[in-house]
Structure formats: C-alpha cells, structure tokens
Structure 1
Amino acid sequence: MWGAWESNVSIRFCEKFAKTPSYIHGYFQDPRYFDGISPLIKQTFTLPPKIIKIKEEAYQRKLSLILASKNSVFVHIRRGDYVGIGCHLGIDYQKKAVEYMAKRVPNMELFVFCEDLESTQNLDLGYPFMDMTTRDKEEEAYWDMALIVGGRLI
C-alpha cells in the first residue's frame, strides 16, 4: 500500500491489495489485480491501424501459414529481458509445455515466437516448429503482436 511495506507477502492473489490503492512490485501475474484498469490496459495494447508496407508482405505470408493451420499452438520464448535479470526459464520448461500441449492438441502445428534469433536457430523442443522469430525487435514487435492476435490461440 502507499507508504507501507510488507515483507513475506505470498505471490498468491491477495484481496487486500486489490481493493486499496497499492503499488505491488514483483511478478504478480494474477489478472484480478488489474480489474480496475482493464479498459486502459486493453486500449494501451490495442494495435494501431497503421500499416507499414515494407513489413506487410512478410506479415501476410506468416499470417497465411498460421491461418492455414488447423491445430496451431503458439510458444513465446521470452529471453531478452528475462536473461538480463537472471530470471529466464530453461529449455526443459519449454519442452514440458510443448509436451503438455502435444497430448491435448492432436496433430499440433507449433509456431515459435522469440526475440533471440540465435537461440531459436539452435532450439530443439522435441517437435518440429515454424520459426516466427523477430529479426528486428524495434520494428517487428508490432507485427509479432498482430500475428498472435490474428491467429487462433489454443
């Protein structure tokens, strides 16, 4: 809460923090913390209608692959900012997630999004995948988001 400090706070959802003006620092990823500002978050992360012609062709090609897939599964491997703070998840985590999805999605078609081209080129998830890795983080983050939104999420 403002001006207050609590230590040993559980990472589970805490109603007290959700109902009072609070600043929560850390990895609190329960959507209930954001109920009060949900419209603002959605507005902030809604893609603008601006289309950049140079990238549009590559985007359309990737989107057609996604839309042609009957059982698409998207994996976003987050490395850049997580590696920098020593908080990245190892390959075993991704492999377990892919294995979990393979048991639930027959004939899954895997699409991998990542910002680390070198990492993705050497990636072995135990299943074939379509590499959707961003080549230019600054310019292509918009397009990655558009692809994820435009495809069917499972």
Structure 2
Amino acid sequence: MMLQCPFEEDLMDAVASGRWPHGAGTELRHHVEGCELCRDVEAIAAAFLEDRDCAWNEAPVPSASAVWWRTQMRAREEAARLAARPIIIAQATATVCVFAASVALAPAAFDSVRRWIAAFGATASSVPPEISLSWIVGAAAYTTLPLLAVGLWLVLAPVVVFLALDD
C-alpha cells in the first residue's frame, strides 16, 4: 500500500482504534487540520467504522435454543456419518466378494447350461422345422444373456460403489 502522507497510517490507526480525535496526539490533530488528504482519509475511515458499528447493532442474533439445536443436529449428522462408515465398507466388501464369486463360478454355471441346452438340442430332430427358429433364438439367448448380465454388472457396479462410498 502506497502512502502519500507520512501521517496517513497513524491517522488510520487512531480512527480504527477509536482514539480519534480526542485520544490522538496534538501533533496528529494539527497535521490533519492542514492536510487535505488526511482529512479525506479521516472522513472515509470514520464512515466505514460508523457503518461497521451499525451493522453490528442491526445484525440478527439467533436465540440460544436455536444455536443449541443446530449444534445438536450437526453432532448427530457427524455421528451418523461415522457410524455409516463400517457399513459402507462392509457393502463394498460384499460387492467385491459377489463379483469374485460370480467370476469364479461362471465356468461351472456355463457348463451346466450347455449340457441343459444340449439335452434339449438332442430333441430338436423330432421338432418340426417351423419351430427350429425358436431353438436358434434360444441358442442366441444362451450366449447373449450372460454377456448382457456382465455388461449390466460392469455399468452398475461403479454406480453402486460410488453410492456406497458417497458421504
């Protein structure tokens, strides 16, 4: 901050501390009477301080019960967040375990599904040709549904983890 008058900082300190004009030194008061810049500084600083005092007096102060209620609500919310952390960790762990189990058990499930379709496929020769299209659709569903399930899981898993870890 560039000062243009050597007494400007002393004047601002005196006004801000409430010592102006009666508590300030005689030399400072005589200087302000003769210095136009310091008179402007005094007028502006006094206006700012008066506005600050008015704002302090007009500021609405909440009742003690309202402050106490807000404090209690904040404490409860914080306690709920702290209590929810182990639950969130358990949910995330369960999600990871379910995914790992589904990946581990997928080959066994696919083998049993293949055998089941093969058993029905053996009867396909006795089925009229009009129905063979449904067997093709069934075979397509056999390969498509697991892929759709994996794709859906890949889309929803990050959302579930995000919601579980979101504060």
Give me the TM-score of the superposition, normalised by structure 2. Answer: 0.22
| Bigger Rg over Cα | 2
Q: Which has the higher strand share?
A: 1
Give me the TM-score of the superposition, normalised by structure 1. Answer: 0.23
Q: Which has the higher helix share?
A: 2
